[in-house]
C-alpha cells in the first residue's frame, strides 16, 4: 500500500500529535482495563510513532503488514519487538493486556466478514480483562466524496505535494494519491491507490459483540473519528 511513500510517511503525517494521542490512549486504558499487566500490542503499527511514547508506560510490541513501514519503525524504536503479519491471520502465541489498531487501519480489511475476522483475531490475543481499542475509518454518513484535496510538505531538503480526488465505489472510499517528491537528488512523481471500506457504526459494534467484547464508542477519539473500546470479560 505504501510502496513508494513509506519513506515519506512521517513527514506527510507530521501534523499528528502522537504524544498527545498516546496520552489520551493511556487515560482510556486506565478506565477500561481490568487485567493486571502492562503488555500492549499495536496492530498496523506503521512507523511506530505511537509506540515511541507508549513504550514509556507499557511493555510494547508492534505488527504491520507493510515491510517498508516496519523497517522505519525498527530503526526508530530499536528496543521494541516488531512482527510482520496480517491483522486477520497473525498468531504471536501470546496474550496482551491491551491491543490497539489506530489511524483507521481497520478500513483496509474491506468487507464486513473480514472485519469480524480481524476483530476476533485481535481479541484472541487479549488476556481476560484486557482491552481492544480500534480507531475506525469514516462512517458512510460522514464521508463526503468528490472535491480536490492537497497536502504540502516544505522542508529544506524535502518537498512533497500530494493531491487526490476521492470517490465511493462498492462501499469503499477510493483514493488515488498523486505525489510529486523533490529531494536534493531528484524530483519523482508516482501514484498510490488506497481503498478503505466504509463500515457502519453497527457493523463495528457487531464485530466487537461477535468476538465476545463489551464495547463502547468514544465519540471524540484521537482525531475526531472516534474510538471503539472493547473489554474482554475476566476470569
**Do 31 and 133 share a domain, yes or no?**
yes
pLDDT value at position 3?
Answer: 77
CA 137 to chain centre: 9
Binned average pLDDT, 10 residues per bin, the chain of 235 residues: 87 96 98 97 98 98 97 97 98 98 97 98 98 97 90 96 94 95 95 96 98 97 96 89
Do 92 and 171 belong together in one domain?
Answer: no
Whether 33 maps to a domain, the answer reads yes
**Is residue 226 situated within a structural domain?**
yes
| DSSP single-letter state for residue 223 | T
- CATH code of 218's domain: 3.40.50.150
The closest alpha carbon to 44, from 90, 79, 87, 82, belongs to 87
**DSSP letter string, 24-61:** HHHHHHHHH--SS--EEEEET-TT-HHHHHHTTTSEEE
In a domain, 205, yes or no: yes
Do 155 and 191 share a structural domain? Answer: yes
CATH of the domain at 174: 2.20.130.10
Measured distance CA(81)–CA(88) in Å, rounded: 20
Q: Say if residue 103 is in the same domain as residue 164.
A: no
Distance of CA 163 to the CA centre of its chain: 22
16 with 83, same domain: the answer is yes
Q: Is residue 1 in a domain?
A: no
Burial string for 114-139 (b: 16+ CB within 10 Å, else e) reads: bbbbbbbbbbebbbebbbbbbbbbbe
Any domain includes 50: yes
Could you tell me if 162 and 209 lie in one domain?
Answer: no
CA distance 113 to 3: 26
Q: Are residues 225 and 176 in the same domain?
A: no
Please give the pLDDT value at position 235. 66
Q: Within a domain: residue 101?
A: yes
| Same-domain pairing of 213 and 116 | yes
Question: Same structural domain for residues 72 and 172?
Answer: no
Q: Based on the domain organization, do 115 and 177 belong to the same domain?
A: no
The rounded Cα 70 to chain-centroid distance in angstroms is 13
**Number of domain units in the chain:** 2
Looking at the structure, tell me whether residues 181 and 109 fall in a common domain. Answer: no
Q: Count CB-CB contacts under 10 A for residue 91.
A: 9
Same-domain check for residues 129 and 159: no
**What integer pLDDT is reported at residue 119 of this predicted model?**
98
Looking at residue 194, its pLDDT comes to: 95
| N-terminal to C-terminal alpha carbon distance within the chain | 39
Domain of 160, in residue numbers: 148-197
Amino acid at each position: 500500500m505504501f510502496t513508494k511513500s513509506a519513506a515519506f510517511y512521517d513527514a506527510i503525517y507530521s501534523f499528528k500529535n502522537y504524544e498527545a494521542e498516546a496520552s489520551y490512549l493511556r487515560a482510556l486504558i486506565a478506565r477500561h482495563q481490568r487485567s493486571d499487566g502492562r503488555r500492549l500490542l499495536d496492530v498496523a503499527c506503521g512507523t511506530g510513532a505511537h509506540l515511541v511514547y507508549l513504550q514509556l508506560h507499557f511493555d510494547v510490541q508492534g505488527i504491520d503488514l507493510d515491510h517498508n513501514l516496519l523497517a522505519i519503525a525498527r530503526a526508530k524504536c530499536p528496543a521494541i519487538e516488531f512482527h510482520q503479519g496480517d491483522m486477520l491471520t497473525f498468531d504471536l502465541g501470546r496474550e496482551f493486556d491491551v491491543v490497539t489498531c489506530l489511524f483507521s487501519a481497520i478500513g483496509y480489511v474491506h468487507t464486513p466478514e473480514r472485519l469480524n475476522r480481524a476483530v476476533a483475531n485481535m481479541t484472541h490475543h487479549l488476556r481476560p480483562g484486557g482491552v481492544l481499542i480500534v480507531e475506525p475509518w469514516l462512517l458512510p454518513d460522514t464521508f463526503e466524496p468528490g472535491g480536490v484535496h492537497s497536502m504540502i510538505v516544505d522542508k529544506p531538503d524535502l518537498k512533497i505535494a500530494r493531491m487526490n480526488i476521492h470517490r465511493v465505489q462498492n462501499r469503499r472510499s477510493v483514493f488515488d494519491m498523486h505525489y510529486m517528491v523533490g529531494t536534493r537528488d531528484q524530483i519523482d512523481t508516482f501514484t498510490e491507490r488506497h481503498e478503505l471500506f466504509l463500515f457502519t457504526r453497527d457493523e463495528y459494534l457487531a464485530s466487537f459483540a461477535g468476538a465476545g467484547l463489551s464495547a463502547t464508542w468514544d465519540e471524540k477519539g484521537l482525531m475526531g473519528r472516534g474510538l471503539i473500546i472493547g473489554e474482554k470479560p475476566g476470569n
